[in-house]
Amino acid sequence: MEEEIRAEFQNSGFSIGGASPEHAAQILSTLLTYCINYKMSPADLVSNWEVYYLNRQLDGLKLESSYLDGFLSHLQNEVKDRIIKEESNLHIYSSNDVDMLLSNSHADEVAFHDTPGSKQENPPEESSNSELTPLTSDRPSSSRVAKTNADRITPFATRVNKFTQQYVLNADNAVSVPSKNAEITEDEVIRRIQPSQRCSLQVQRSQPEPGCRFMYDRMEDRFNYLEDRIRKSASLFSASGFCGEPADATLASEEKMFAVGTVACDGEGHLNEKSILLQGSVQHSRGQRVRLDLKDLDHFSLFPGQVVGIEGHNPSGHCFVASKLIDSIPVSVDAQLPSAKKQAIDNESNQNSDGGTLSRALSSVIAAGPYTTTDNLLFEPLQELLSYACRKQPQLLILMGPFIDSDHPDIKKGTADQSFHDIFHFEILRKIQDFTQYLGNTVRVILIPSVLDAHHDFVFPQPAFDLNFPEDITHQITCLANPCLFSSNEIRLGCCTVDILKQLSGEEISRKPPVGKPGDRIGRLASHILKQQSYYPLYPPAAGVPLDFSLAKEALEISSAPDVLLLPSDLAPFVKVLSLGEGSDDQKRFICVNPGRLAKGIGGGTFVELYYNEGIDKTNASIIRI
């Protein structure tokens, strides 16, 4: 039978490795053992090897002895999955069952004395449920399963360095935020945050609407989107007065000219200095492309899809030699959102307790998903975050997706015992409703989806969640689209949950100036978003981004820079003060925030606590580990 195994591997293009015939014979003997133990034919064994080979992306076509242990684990998992599928009533015991049996007597004793809605009295730092009172206990799972989950000791529950500050912006502003290790009394919280003063909220852009028709975009929509961006940018360059009228960069001319277009690559690979093309508009250059020569520029930062203004000449008609590059689109003088686009949530946007204008002060907690660790769906990080918010009592809690992460192992494998919508409603919304009812009318919660949300529309731009809340908390929880622009206490905040920073970092090429301070690459990438006046200036879009060009024109546009730009990313969390128009009189500063991910693997991640006070210099922000 060993020869049959060898022949099957050779027919599939594989060979049995080994430094000597004795070594190869030992491998064949091990493979024969696998066939006998798992009742497999040589053909079945080779089929399983091919699956393992492709999944592990192994190099070469030789089966080495070093692969046998991993291949054995693969066979064991395959047999286990087949048995579970064939015998649905069969239970495979694991460490979770051992924990349940060891604590079974204690769980039964507690079950007689506790009600489903009872509240455990634990210290705030030890229990994630200490600050919240459950509304009901009608969850899809049984009470025994619920108690088993509560008694489980997870890696997240045993973490150390809880709620430690990793970075503080404007740490000298001790008035706004207390010291790192100091306990906060209730009087200090009220004096600093004034939780009785409810913040205003005004939605300025949240498109598309829930229930919209999407993924029917045509090639015409794609063309119109790119053409409109170039033509609008060209008109803004002309109106600024600092540049001449845009010309056709493809025409041969020894005279200097100014051209506007998008950066493109001459192939399908990554951009490099030899493959940069400038694509003009149909109006100015019939949509043709010309190669760019950037040898005379001492610094630049470019990526595909970027709209730039370039000054230079084209002596041959085939290559435009650039002498000056402008990567920031001028802001329109009348860059005001139409009043019809502004949706007042309530009348509080025009008044406050003093009867005068609203003060530009806001306390907020900002977090981005995933909200549960990869080893379970207990959503412990979310519960800890809400408990922290209960203690700090911010005016605004901003939660950005993904909420039901499509990359979570249980979601990808389909092993969750509830539907995606049930998980979202019972494990997430229920906790958020408990939180809002606990703090009362003093807090607002904003929910923004992500394209990674398994229970929501897979499209970008992405409509807001279409949820029906009880009447008593409808005014406290607001669902916005991805991306969106809103203001609270006259502070403008923009948000996009697509990881544009990570995608730009993989596509951007740059040349640093020969002298001067070292550049901040992350800050430069974040500045591109506002310089390009688009939440997603990259074209073509990255793999996995379902960009619908029929919805993108208005939804992705940033007509004026916000005070705070929220860009959650897998990159390292940061809070940065960035500038637009450096060196000019109308320099605009803004705060860019990447709160990181609340859960990372089986451990905790980070979130941001932001206290905006009148201006950036008085603003304090902290990156906190959950």
Three-state SS across 586-621? CCEEEEEEECCCCEECCEECEEEEEEEECEEEEEEE
Judge whether residue 181 has pLDDT over 50.
no
Residue-wise burial string across 315-326, b where 16 or more C-beta atoms lie within 10 A, e elsewhere: eeeeebbbeebb
Please state, as a whole number, how many other Cβ atoms lie within 10 Å of the Cβ of residue 306.
24
Domains of the chain: 1-84 (no CATH), 164-177+195-214+358-511+518-625 (3.60.21.60), 243-326 (2.40.50.430)
Q: 30-39, 169-178, 389-398: which has the highest mean pLDDT? A: 389-398
Q: What is the average pLDDT across 161-165?
A: 90
Tokens encoding 100: 């349940």
Within 8 A by CB and 6+ apart from 21, the residues are none
Least confident piece of the model among 93-102, 225-234, 570-579: 93-102
Cβ–Cβ under 8 Å, residues 167 and 623? yes
Phi/psi at 72 (5° precision) = -65, -40
Residues forming a β-bridge with 361: 613
Q: How far apart are CA 299 and CA 325, in angstroms?
A: 9
pLDDT at 367: 97
d(CA 225, CA 557): 11
Q: Residue 146: pLDDT above 60?
A: no
**Sequence-separated (6 or more) residues with CB below 8 Å from residue 591:** 169, 563, 564, 565, 575, 576, 577, 578, 610, 612, 616, 619, 621
Say which residue, 151 or 429, is predicted with more confidence: 429
Which residues, in sequence order, are bridge partners of residue 460? 547
The pLDDT value recorded for residue 184 is: 44
pLDDT attached to residue 585? 54
Would you call 21 helix, strand, or coil by DSSP?
helix
Tell me what pLDDT residue 170 has: 82
Instruction: Tell me: pLDDT of 346 over 70.
Output: no
Q: What is the pLDDT of residue 229?
A: 94
Say whether pLDDT at 50 is over 70. Answer: yes
- 462-500 residue pLDDT tens: 999 999 888 878 889 999 999 999 999 999 999 999 999
DSSP SS3 for 75: helix
Q: Which residue has the higher pLDDT, 449 or 250?
A: 449
pLDDT, averaged across the chain:
82
